[in-house]
């Protein structure tokens, strides 16, 4: 299944996260490359906090999708860090999400190149043994 995430939905998601974080004090915001970068930049402007090149104590760490957890787990022990993802493919425990999606759902973000959509999706399915 393929789901298209629009700029309008992205803007609403930025608003949602900003509202959850507006009374919190962060040392900066870190977007996990590549998927978290657009979200980090948008939130940096919205919350008026610095975009940082690596996560540090008390930072807001964001990504596009939480699927296996491998990426975010590398940052889990950073003191005072808060985590947000746009989509989580499992119920969140120590991170926050805007949406929960099905495991097999392929999400196309508005900043992605749709010409390579089918190839990217097939590589994803093959890499994870989902075929």
Indicate the pTM of the whole model: 0.88
pLDDT (tens digit per residue) in 7-29: 999 999 999 999 999 999 999 99
For the residues of 8-71, what is the DSSP string, one character each?
HHHHHHHHHHHHHHTTS--S-EEE-TTTTHHHHHHHHHHHT--B-SS--TT-EEEEEEESSSHH
Tell me which of 42 and 127 has the higher pLDDT: 42
For the residues of 109-126, what is the DSSP string, one character each?
PTTS-GGGHHHHHHHHHH
- Which domain does 14 fall in, by range? 2-127
Looking at the structure of the chain, the number of domains it has is 1
pLDDT (tens digit per residue) in 45-95: 999 999 999 999 999 999 999 998 999 999 999 999 999 999 999 999 999
User: Quick check: 32 pLDDT over 90?
Assistant: yes
User: Quick check: 131 pLDDT over 60?
Assistant: no
Q: Could you tell me the CATH number of the domain that includes residue 118?
A: 3.40.50.2020
pLDDT (tens digit per residue) in 118-127: 777 777 667 7
Average pLDDT over residues 91-101: 95
Question: How distant is the alpha carbon of residue 53 from its chain centre?
Answer: 16
């Amino acid at each position: 299944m393929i789901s298209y995430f629009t700029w309008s939905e992205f803007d609403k998601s930025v608003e949602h996260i900003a509202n959850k974080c507006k009374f919190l004090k962060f040392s900066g915001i870190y977007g996990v490359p590549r998927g978290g970068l657009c979200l980090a930049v948008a939130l940096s402007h919205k919350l008026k906090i610095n975009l940082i090149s690596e996560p540090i104590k008390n930072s807001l760490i964001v990504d596009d999708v939480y699927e296996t957890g491998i990426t975010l787990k590398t940052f889990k022990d950073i003191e005072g860090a808060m985590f947000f993802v746009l989509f989580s493919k499992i119920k969140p425990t120590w991170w926050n999400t805007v949406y929960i999606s099905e495991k097999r759902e392929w999400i196309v973000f508005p900043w992605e190149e749709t010409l390579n959509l089918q190839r990217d999706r097939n590589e994803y399915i093959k890499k994870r043994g989902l075929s």
